[in-house]
Amino acid sequence: MQIVTEHITLKNEDVILTNQRAIYWEREEALILSDIHIGKTAHFRRHGIPIPDGILQKDLNRLKELILHFNAKELFIVGDLFHAETNSDMATFKQWLTQFEDLNLVLIKGNHDTQSLRLMDDLGIVVMAQLEIEPFIFLHEPMDNTLNLFTISGHTHPGVLIKGRGKQKLKLPCYQVTVNQLILPAFSLFTGLNTRNIPKDASCYAFTDTSIFKL
């Protein structure tokens, strides 16, 4: 796995975009991501759809490498940490968390995060409707922001469609950045890409396994 970075400034704060579907906020030593959807693969298997076990493990391995790369002290998950009902993937995640005893994990609750508070307590997760640390507000779904604060959200699984010669087309995940918001790509590799809902005047930072670039 190769971690490629792009440094940008948001509201005078240094933020690092990565090609691994997460950003790092230097001031807070916080790794920030959205839409992991833990439990999605087990949910599909429970309903008779043969999804490989390795998808979740690959996502968790990427997350581990990012935490170690930045030596992150905080992990802000901007919604949809989980996907469906409590299932075997939650036990996998709980075991994975044991290697990060000093990591502070905050979940900004998303529309899929319907698990009990007892489970969240058991995992040591602080759950919030939104998190405000100036100059940012973290929330799951993008919103029309008339405030002076800058919103960081997820939910829409943003992507871009790049057209080549003839009928050649390529879809890539991306970050969408405007003057008052940043929309994160879905962290999980087991998600689709929404290439239609691009905010007005947004800059898109698309990425591949080996690069990240502004469109």
Which residue range is the domain that position 47 belongs to? 5-214
Say if residues 14 and 27 touch (Cβ distance below 8 Å): yes
pTM for the full predicted model: 0.90
The CATH number of the domain where 12 resides is what? Answer: 3.60.21
The pLDDT value given to residue 192: 82
How many structural domains does the chain have? 1
The pLDDT value given to residue 86: 64
The pLDDT value given to residue 124: 87
The pLDDT value given to residue 131: 96
What b/e sequence results for 53-88 when a residue is b if at least 16 CB atoms lie within 10 Å of its CB, and e otherwise?
A: eebbeebbebbeebbeebebeebbbbbbbbbbeebe
What does pLDDT average to in each consecutive run of 10 residues of the chain (215 residues)?
97 97 98 88 53 79 97 95 72 91 92 70 89 94 74 95 80 95 93 86 95 95
The pLDDT value given to residue 90: 82
